[in-house]
Structure 1
């Protein structure tokens, strides 16, 4: 309300100020006096006034009626303020009307079933693809595990073969060294027996025959059987300086058919070495037929110089 009144008042004040400004400008503005040019020399004149004239003039001026003062120009009264026009209600901005949406037709039941069926088929196809991808990945993983396992087994077999080959080479080397030592020992024993007197043969059961015995032939027969058995014997399995007395049975031709241990402290492996030595090759027979005996007692012991006699 105050704003509506202040505007007309301000307009009235501005109008009056404008009128006053026009009056002042009109009072100040006067046309410049025109100078008249007259021919001839300039005449200088002076006015001589006596004192009595001055007094008389002052008296006349005092007695003369004073002119009435000129009334000031009427000031136009400001027009009464006009009633402000009633503010017209401004039209409220039109609210944005929602754009009418096109009505989407509802699908028919047949279309809904087709859409649902299509969605189900797509979901099932996606599941089948995922299952197939999973199966393929599992197959790849299984194949990779089998490959790694086969590779590990192959390396293990190769390592075992290499170890077995090394063990076989080591065993052959040891066997060759042992055979070399046995051969050296056998040669020394043969040399010792050739220089030493022949031992008396162990008593044996007389074999059936004509009861004729050649003592020299029987001694050579006993020595030949002992040398054959010792040559075939693996001494590394038996303890040193430990005698083992055995009795074996042979048939004509020197083949051993039975072995028994009379007094032998050897373990199982050492006894097997004695049996292999007796069965490895036939005992001497050719040339010893007159002194052949079916049962022979032998004593296995090494070295001979350390064994009891």
Structure 2
């Protein structure tokens, strides 16, 4: 993480931890997500830049989405998988003036960069850490567009598209959530303008709650190699192309899609209790007894107490409706709505 950016955030009252950043308590900040618009330094994400004449083909041959169809003002979800189809990383990908930018969880960014570099061989591609020169800022809430406008920035209209203001790029994930990629040198100024425009400063927990409510999962070190892309609803959010050529894990992903072998899906749930459950925690159901029926993917405090989470589990368990955290006798999950419809079996 860049020192200039972090020193500014600390002066603004932020506390930096391995899990992310906070200005107030996480419980206070998630209430701001529900009641207004927040601006969040996305320090829990790392950035990789892929540049060079062969960069598009290079990424196209490695990732689950069709990078060749990524327009200059577009963005896309994608994944990098093992040969067995298990996700090593969930990715947000977009074009910029230098090549392609890839955002992934910061705790896996170094190993992801190393793995991608191993495939370069003789290709005209350079894979490099972009976290040192580019900051990501998230804006979430019903008035997100107005906050950007008041700060002198233009928000893109369509989901998974981007707008350009000088060296700054703004990516719309959905109606309420936008990501701004900005040079480190101007990140403090942009952040300050967004706060002055009415967005409340908030930390990682607030952004995680916004992403959970949007049904957008993030693979972290804890959950690597646990899921096939469809288990995380990646084909629903546009993160998988079934018309492109081969890539690592493609055979498994395609077989899962066309042979009807998908037995697990991702759902949004509420977890009661005061102790924060960890990503990767096992889920249990009467149907499976002492055998794990699924895992938590991402977790954030809920504004009214307890926690909200994205959880992958057996579809039969979700249909039965009785799922417990940690053990067959653990806290019972309550199912919440996702913003999109899951495909029927």
Larger proportion of strand: 2
Structure 2 length as normaliser, TM-score? 0.18
Say which one has the larger Rg. Answer: 1
The structure showing larger relative contact order (alpha-carbon pairs under 8 Å, at least 6 residues apart) is 2
Higher helix content, 1 or 2: 1
